[in-house]
Structure 1
Amino acid sequence: MDHPQSDDPQRRDANRVVVTVTRTGGIAGRRRLWRAEPPPDDTARWEELLGRCPWDEVAAGGAGGDRFVWAIRAVDDRTREAELADARLQGPWRELVDAVRAAAS
């Protein structure tokens, strides 16, 4: 019996996107973690969100006292990571973090 491509484990892994966001720091120093693993039919939208983020342009920088630091890790056909001070969480980075937080809730 033939199975649809979506039942093929290799096909599923090829369409898999996992994004984790960890926020540390702040006045209380609490650590928060959000994780999104969208269904395969939503992969294109997430790939577009990931593609708009300037992964290669992330410069290390101090967050400053009592500020948040955001660690973002995306795994699709490759693994990308970025660590951003709260002040740098703008534009496509903010959109990606907001999407992960919404998907995780």
Structure 2
Amino acid sequence: NHAFPQSLTVDLGAPKALKRLVLKLPPAAAWATRTQTLTVSGSTDGGTYGTLKPSAGYTFDPSSGNTATVSLPGTPVRHLRLTFTGNTGWPAAQLSELEAYTS
């Protein structure tokens, strides 16, 4: 809380050529619309990460399911890292579900 940056790292188990991510927050009406700023990085070995998507703001709106989609270039990675640097709705990163797609 009140400490950016914050990150989430996922091991996909094997390299995947990711084309998009769907980020989700709870759809409860109690959550106001918010924009979170994040960078997406990837790695094949879990040690050296490269940027897959530079820092950008993603809006989560309860009226549309509180989801945000991130388009990616399809670079094969085994390890995926989201680094959050801002959130207009809470002084910390928020994410309840992450979906990764190769198409």
Is the TM value for this pair above 0.5?
no
More helix by share: 1
Q: Which has the greater radius of gyration?
A: 1
